[in-house]
């Protein structure tokens, strides 16, 4: 079974540009999460999808970040315009069901974003 | 909201020795505590987890203990091997309704010296 995949693995952009990150969860997983780790600090929650619906977006830092999950399959996270402080590693995770108790979240390898 | 503190930030042990990483959490409603291992260039991988109705859980060389009263939990790795070298993250979560987000500690860089 394929794990969570993320694309691209690395991205280097200039301040003010736009970047779109993609996450493909494990097939059949309803729950999809975005997290990020900035400057070697803790991994912080950004948002949670259940199928195509945003269940919790309390961790989104500001309106420069837009996440979508059309059709309830893969998800994209767009940063527009990117700022220096957006640099970090963006992780996607998925878990199976939408109504069960807390389940294991399976993480992807991350996208390393550097904003210059 | 939940806050998780993790110590130490770095830990070096000799191969064969034990390693202990400790975490404390702030929200008494947290009831799920996973530990993740992150190797260089890879994403975090779950190594063990514990729920609040259990005080201890063991899986081969890895064990986790939970003290709900004191709001702290620990990861114990025995007979460490060089391949145990990685960054370890603890996390806490409230499994209630739709809430599922994990709150992570800041990570511990474990180095096992041969």
Q: Do B34 and A4 touch (CB under 8 A)?
A: no
Q: What is the pLDDT of residues B76-93, one digit of tens each?
A: 999 999 999 999 999 999
Nearest to B43 among A45, A50, A110 (CB): A110
Q: Which of A2, A3, A43 to mutate to test the interface with B (most CBs of B within 10 A)?
A: A43
Q: What is residue B53's DSSP assignment?
A: T
Average pLDDT score over chain B: 93
Spell out which residues of chain B touch residue A43, defining contact as CB-CB under 8 Å: 44, 89, 91, 102, 104, 107
**Cα-Cα end-to-end distance for chain A:** 37
What Å distances lie between residue B33 and A65, B7, B37, B43, B74, CA to CA?
28, 16, 14, 18, 10
Q: Do B101 and A59 touch (CB under 8 A)?
A: yes
pLDDT at residue B61, rounded to an integer: 97
Chain A touched by B100 (CB under 8 Å): yes
Phi, psi for residue A85 in degrees, rounded to 5: -70, -5
Q: Among residues of chain A, what percentage have pLDDT more than 70? A: 95
How far apart are the CA of A57 and the nearest CA of chain B, in angstroms? Answer: 10
Which residues, other chains included, contact A99 with Cβ-Cβ below 8 Å and sequence gap of 6+? none
pLDDT at residue B100, rounded to an integer: 78
pLDDT for residue B15 is more than 70? yes
Q: What is the pLDDT of residues B43-89, one digit of tens each?
A: 999 999 998 888 999 999 999 999 999 999 999 999 999 999 999 99
Q: What is the pLDDT of residues A38-90, one digit of tens each?
A: 987 899 999 999 999 998 899 999 999 999 998 889 999 999 999 999 999 99
The residue with tokens 């993740």 is B36
Nearest CA in chain A to B31: A102
Q: Do A108 and B43 touch (CB under 8 A)?
A: yes
Decide: B101 and A45 in contact? Cβ < 8 Å.
yes
pLDDT for residue A98 is more than 60? no
pLDDT at residue B97, rounded to an integer: 61
Q: Among residues of chain A, what percentage have pLDDT more than 90? A: 79
């Amino acid at each position: 079974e394929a794990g969570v995949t993320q694309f691209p693995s690395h991205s280097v952009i200039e301040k003010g540009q736009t970047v779109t990150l993609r996450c493909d969860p494990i097939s059949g997983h309803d729950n999809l999460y975005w997290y990020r780790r900035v400057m070697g600090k803790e991994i912080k929650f950004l948002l949670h999808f259940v199928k195509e619906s945003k269940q919790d977006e309390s961790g989104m830092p500001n309106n420069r970040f837009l996440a979508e999950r059309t059709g309830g399959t893969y998800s994209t996270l767009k940063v527009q315009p990117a700022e220096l402080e957006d640099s970090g590693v963006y992780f996607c995770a998925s878990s199976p069901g939408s109504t069960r108790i807390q389940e294991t979240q399976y993480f992807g390898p991350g996208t390393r974003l550097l904003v210059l | 909201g939940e806050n998780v503190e993790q110590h130490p930030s770095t830990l070096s042990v000799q191969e064969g020795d034990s390693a202990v990483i400790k975490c404390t959490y702030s929200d008494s409603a947290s009831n799920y505590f996973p530990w993740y291992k992150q190797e260089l260039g890879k994403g975090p991988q779950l190594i063990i987890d514990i729920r609040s109705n259990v005080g201890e859980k063991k899986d081969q060389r890895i064990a986790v203990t939970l003290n709900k009263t004191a709001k702290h939990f620990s990861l114990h790795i025995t007979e460490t091997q060089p391949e145990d070298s990685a960054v370890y993250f603890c996390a806490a979560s409230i499994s209630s309704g739709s809430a599922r987000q994990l709150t992570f500690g800041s990570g511990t860089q474990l180095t096992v010296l041969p």
